[in-house]
Structure 1
Amino acid sequence: MDRTAPADGTATPTPTGAPVPDAPGLLDGVPRQRAGGRGSCGTVDPGVRESRMPRPRLWRLLPTPTGTPFTFGYAIVLCVTSLISAYGGTALVHALLQGSSTDVAHLVRTPELVLVGSALWLAGGVASPFAIGLVLVLTALERRIGGLCTAGVFLLGHVLATLATEVPVGLAVLAGQLPASSLHRLDYGVSFGVAADTGALAGLLSPWLRVPLLAGFGGMLLQDLLAFTDPMTNWGHLIALAIGVATWPLIRRWQTRGAGSPGPVRG
């Protein structure tokens, strides 16, 4: 007569030597493959999952190519453009920056080109406060809502804050309140996008982290505005921060939807 499988879940041979297939559910210790995400907001991009080997929590503050592909790739691009800015010829660098500037003249002629191009340069280089903030903030936000949504909030703040500061300049020139040279002011960098993502990230943190983040970052922006060294840019930072805060209802829905996706985000 055939034997049934013992309680430990191993297969036992029949008198003829053929093993009896294990019953469903007896091999609970064997990990099951999970389906990958689809890359939409709140879900994990394909191939994002890594080994379940534990890592120090410090690594979660930094981008990785599989855990936070958008932030990692964007950081690489910014490192390359920073090297060009630091070691390229003066005429070449000036031409590249001028061609990427979101001044009024460029926004009227080639708005799509300069709105994207201006976000590829770091004002102050890789050691600037906004460069460090970009890595930390975008990494934290991407781990919560995914790369597509993080990029969307970044672009939303970058584009809207740019328009909110440059359109008044154009109107002031038309009204004779500013000289025509104001239409060609050099304007580039990632700071508006970083400010928007910082405001968005605050909405996903617990109150004891949210309040110090907004108070500290907002206070720094207000201090820069009161210094009155570059009021248009300083106003743009505050506008971008407010845009990020305004996305809280949306990104909280994205985070909730992402929490229901199969498997944890690794990296």
Structure 2
Amino acid sequence: MAPGRGRAPWWRRTALLLPAPGPTPFTFTYLCVLVATSLFAEFGDRGVVGVLLHASSTDVAHLSRDPLLVLVASALWVAGGLASPYVVGFVFVLTALERRIGAWRAAAVFLVGHVVATLATEVPVAVSVVAGHLPGSSLHRLDYGISFGLLACVGALAGLLTPLLRVLVLAWVAVMLLHDLLKLEDPVADWGHPLALLIGVCGWPLVRRAARRQSRTTPVSGPW
């Protein structure tokens, strides 16, 4: 077999799973930001970290005052820090999605999932407080992280996988989300996660069209 025409070395195939400045600038840059904020949250001054996290929270009180600011700021932190499984999911899911549809479109999927799922879960909280079904303290709950945007990207990426892999991914994620719903330790997040996943799934026609356009300009190679 002639050199260069066989299967790429394992290390090169593995590298395609990871973000890089050239092929996946959105994922790479965003990951650097998340690493920086996670390290600061871990080793920075406890008081300053607490103030910043509360100021970044997408609770009803903050959303009513500074919606754009907190929607952006809340996505700059990872709940649980670098040890969170969301970081691993972010690396592989966002890298795969961005390679297939491009940086701007991948960013749009993440942003739509983050914003829509946040508003769809916090608005009912506000209504419930006004109706007297929840205490006023519910307006000030701490809520931040990348999980809504990530799950929207998982849902979108599933539409670009082979049928078998698509079923396996969605089934695995659905089981985890159902487990969280049954425990219902954090109702806002536990209901927001499946909603975010559904947002990504609803975007399959647009994502597939974007993937076809992307493949005509930049052929995608990789283990997926």
Taking structure 2 as the reference length, the TM-score comes to 0.92
Q: Does 1:64 align with 2:64?
A: no
Q: Look up the match of 1:264.
A: 219
Corresponding residue for 1:112? 68
1:233 correspondence with 2:189 = yes
Q: In structure 1, how many angstroms separate the alpha carbons of the residues matched to 2:47 and 2:13?
A: 44
Counterpart position of 1:183: 139
Equivalent residue number for residue 208 of structure 1: 164
CA contact (8 A) 1:67 1:266 kept: no
After TM superposition, what 4+ stretches of structure 1 lie above 2 angstroms from structure 2? 263-267
For residues 149 and 66 of structure 2, the distance between their equivalents in structure 1, rounded to whole angstroms, comes to 20
Structure 1 Cα separation of the partners of residues 171 and 141 of structure 2: 31
* Alignment deviations for residues 70-111 of structure 1 (CA, whole Å, 9 cap, x no partner): 000000000000011001111101100011000000100000
Task: Give yes or no for the alignment of 1:247 onto 2:206.
Answer: no
RMSD: 1.4
Partner of 1:135: 91
Cα separation, 2, equivalents of 1:85 and 1:96 = 9
- What is the CA deviation profile of residues 155-176 of structure 1, one whole-angstrom value per residue up to 9, with x for unaligned ones? 0000000001100000000001
Alignment partner of 2:53 out of 89, 94, 97 = 97
Aligned to 2:4: none
Hey, what does 1:195 align to over in structure 2? 151
Aligned to 2:3: none
TM-superposed CA distance for 1:231, in Å, is: 1.6
Greater percentage in helix: 2
Q: What is aligned with 2:31?
A: 75
How much has 1:126 moved relative to structure 2? 1.1
Residue by residue, what CA displacement relative to the aligned partner does 1:89-141 show, whole Å, maximum 9, x if unpaired? Answer: 11101100011000000100000000000000000111211111011000000
Unmatched 5+ stretches in structure 1: 1-52
% identical aligned pairs? 60
1:264, distance to aligned residue in structure 2 (A): 3.3
Q: Which residue of 2 aligns with 1:163?
A: 119
Distance 1:265 1:251 in 2: 15
Letter in 1 for 2:219: P
Aligned positions of 1:15-94 closer than 5 A = 56-94=12-50
| Residue 19 (structure 1) aligns with | none
- 1:218 and 2:174 aligned: yes
Instruction: Give 2:48's aligned amino acid.
Output: L
- Deviation string 1:232-265 (CA, Å, 9 cap, x unpaired) is 101000000000000000011111111222x535
Letter in 2 for 1:257: R
In the superposition, the TM-score normalised over structure 1's length comes to: 0.78
Equivalents in 1 of 2:54, 2:178: separation in Å? 28
Q: Which runs of 5+ in 2 are unaligned?
A: 1-7
Q: Count residues with an aligned counterpart.
A: 214
Mapped to 2, the partners of 1:188 and 1:135 lie a distance apart of 19
The verdict on how the C-alpha distance between 1:184 and 1:165 changes in structure 2, with shifts beyond 3 A counting, is: same
Between structure 1 and structure 2, the one with the greater Rg is 1
